[in-house]
Amino acid sequence: MNTTGKASGKAKATTRRAAVKLPADLGIESARELQQRLSATLDDSAPLILDAHEVTRVHTAALQLLGMFFRDRRAAGYRTQWRRPSAALCDSAGLLGMTNLLELSRESE
């Protein structure tokens, strides 16, 4: 499909991206719901964006789920990135030494 018009004569590829907005509270009581939401996108080969700008509370269980999610998607060759990760999320990941696993050091948006 040519989306650039007649002038270029080249097709411009468009990439579909899925987005998951994380809730403000990622406490242990919300871990089950987080796991279900992440599982629904685990095998989606499209690049995935996690919007985490509203996150104000993070429990270790949520970070563990996110860590395994990133690990599994990376192993499958799928791209996952953050959109505006909150200070609470970044600080919590840093305290537990999970910054690299969660790719928070390479914020893309």
Domains parsed from the chain with CATH numbers: 19-106 (3.30.750.24)
Above 90 in pLDDT, residue 48? yes
Above 80 in pLDDT, residue 21? yes
| Entry pTM | 0.79
Catalogue the long-range contacts made by 21-24 (C-beta closer than 8 Å, 24 or more residues apart).
21/51, 21/54, 22/50, 22/51, 22/52, 22/54, 22/55, 23/54, 23/55, 24/54, 24/55, 24/56, 24/57
Work out the percent of the chain whose per-residue pLDDT is above 70. 81
For residues 18-42, average pLDDT = 93
At residue 54, the pLDDT reads 96
